[in-house]
């Protein structure tokens, strides 16, 4: 698999490259956002690791441009560790956020985790379609397709897996911790903002009025659940 690493610090790029190559990945390198966009146009890339603070085109603006056309997993690197910075990164479409300085082994683990989800989302099974439906919302889990009232909806791998979890368990309330541990396969530590951002993104794509959701609803003080939309509303 091809992983694009983009950071204006060449030593960091080379260090990440060494660890990823040891795991059998092919590494492409870029040193600013414009180079990253160019590499993505010319190469098949399965995952992007990108720094925030870079010349010419920073990681935030580059991610916004990438998300206009691609749903590949994106891991943002940043020296900023504030929750507001993490929320911004997730808001603009990143799948994960790693704070510098970081443990290279942890970064590799996060890469593997994101690629597993991306691969599962991309694979098309030849078995009979597994279809889940809640009102006008339909998920074909074999084709990895989501439609709302017949219209195809584009989700990132994380968004897809969260929605699938809720659709499979229609009406069941999941706490933020349960969602995080089911999707990220790790203990939920300070997971509130991370899950909330992805939930908001899903609502923006499946709800007629995301600010007043009628399908993916909040159960105050507990978590979230997916319910059959009341057509009278």
| pLDDT in the model for residue 82 | 65
pLDDT greater than 90 at residue 38:
yes
List, for residues 45-67, the tens digit of each pLDDT value: 999 999 988 988 988 899 999 98
| pLDDT in the model for residue 120 | 63
Contacts of 4 (CB under 8 A, 6+ apart): 27, 28, 29, 30, 36, 39, 40, 43, 45, 47, 48, 49, 50
Q: What is the pTM of this model?
A: 0.62
Measured between alpha carbons, how far is residue 202 from residues 25, 56, 60, 199 in Å? 31, 31, 20, 5
Q: Which domains occur in the chain, in start order?
A: 2-122 (3.40.50.2300), 131-226 (1.10.10.10)
pLDDT greater than 90 at residue 35:
yes
| pLDDT in the model for residue 159 | 92
């Amino acid at each position: 698999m091809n992983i694009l690493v983009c950071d204006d610090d060449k030593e960091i790029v080379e260090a990440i490259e060494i660890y990823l190559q040891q795991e059998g990945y092919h590494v492409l390198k870029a040193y600013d956002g414009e180079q990253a966009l160019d590499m993505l146009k010319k190469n098949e890339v399965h995952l992007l690791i990108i720094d925030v603070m870079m010349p010419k085109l920073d990681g935030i603006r580059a991610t916004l441009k990438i998300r206009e056309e691609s749903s590949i997993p994106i891991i943002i690197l940043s020296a900023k560790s504030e929750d507001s910075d993490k929320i911004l990164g997730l808001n603009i479409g990143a799948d994960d956020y790693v704070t510098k300085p970081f443990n290279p082994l942890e970064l590799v683990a996060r890469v593997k985790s994101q690629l597993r989800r991306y691969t599962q989302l991309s694979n098309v099974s030849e078995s009979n379609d597994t279809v889940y439906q809640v009102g006008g919302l339909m998920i074909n889990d074999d084709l990895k397709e989501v439609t709302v009232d017949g219209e195809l909806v584009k989700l990132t791998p994380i968004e897809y897996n969260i929605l699938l979890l809720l659709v499979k368990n229609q009406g069941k309330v999941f706490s933020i911790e349960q969602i995080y541990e089911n999707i990220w396969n790790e203990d939920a530590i300070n997971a509130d903002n991370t899950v909330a951002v992805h939930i908001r993104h899903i609502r923006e794509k499946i709800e007629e009025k995301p600010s007043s959701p009628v399908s993916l609803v909040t159960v105050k003080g507990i978590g979230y659940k997916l319910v059959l939309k009341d057509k009278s509303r």
